[in-house]
Amino acid sequence: MKKTGIGFAKRRVLLTGGAGFIGSHTAARLAMDGHAVRVLDILDPQIHGPDAAFPAVLPRGVETIRADINDSRALAAALDGVDAVGHFAALTGVGQSLYDIRSYANVNVTGTAALLEAIFRRGRPYPAFVLASSRAVYGEGAGRCRRHGVVAPGPRERSHLEAGDLLPRCPCGFRATPVPTRENHSLSPVSMYGWTKQAQEEICRQAARVFGLPVMVLRYFNVYGSKQSLINPYTGIVSGFYNRLRAKRPISLFEAGRPTRDFVHVSDVARANVFVLTRSVPMTGTYNIGSGEATSIRGLAETLASVMSVDAVIEDKGEFRSGDIFSGVADIRSAEKEWGYAPQVSLKKGLREFVAWAAGMSAVDHLDKAMEELRRRGLFVSGVKWKK
């Protein structure tokens, strides 16, 4: 990130969900730069395991509070004396959100409201506030129609998917070829998880308008890297594929592996987080945080297998999952131009970092169980013949 006229400052930073994947990387970088860090995290067993304790990966000197994001008393204590808040606490994962709606709304939406209330009860001056949002708010994102140019395709129809037609469509009916999505693109989430992230954004922007809270919204694309949960089947396609390859089990690709994603390494995300959390003048606005490059799901599986030096068995069973999008790639020009964001880790280099870390960790492959749960609820379909 480039130097700007708004300067650096030593900060006292609260990270909600700071023991998690992105939060812990952010905490480590903040501490390394000399900032005081406090972490509030519930240590969800689905992510941290049944005997969860604050991870040893958090640097010495980081203060920890184990509490629910809806615990008003704990929030008041956690906010005492802080200059900036990074709000990472959330349930993540598209598939699970489709049926566990109340939990996602309670943690992601109600939890954000509880945090904002606690900030306003504390009174002025308000801390700088950075919300960890998601590319899921865009839904299908931007597409190019041969008749209308760049458009906002609606959600893909299930009937089209069952007929083997994967590409989203322009409202006129023509197929829309995916293109990178800019921050001013219309929001149209296709999963409950995406809806909760949009609701988080709207709550925070309303608070910014009414109370003058300085809010920065960062929309992360597909973040991967070390410390990503190896036991949660609903988050992290990289960890899911790694578990299959490590166990010498076949990888069955949804939609023939043709969908594309923007994979951004967690170190690039953490650098962006620290940059915006530690300005002497709080930054505001909404920015995509990604690599800016499209990688097919099949390409990801093949690259990961190459990095692991294993022979991958890749299957196409004609499967798709409700709530998935075809493509999600970031247009990162705004962050590049306005504050010098520049991803530094290539996909192959990032996967090497992940594999080197994961090799020393225990992992459990719960993917089949997760898929069976989705199938039981009518959200997972197989046996489709894909069109070219």
Q: Which are the catalytic amino acids?
A: 193
| Strand, helix or coil for residue 85 | strand
What's the per-residue H, E or C state across 252-290?
Answer: EEEHHHCCEECEEEHHHHHHHHHHHHCECCCCCEEEEEC
Rounded-to-integer distance, Cα 244 and Cα 126, Å: 46
Those residues with Cβ within 8 angstroms of residue 214's Cβ, 6 or more apart along the chain or in another chain? 126, 128, 129, 208, 282, 283, 284
DSSP structure class, residue 378: T
Rounded-to-integer distance, Cα 242 and Cα 251, Å: 10
**What does residue 103 show for φ and ψ, rounded to 5 degrees?**
-65, -45
CA distances, 115 to each of 72, 106, 136, 285 (Å): 8, 12, 22, 19
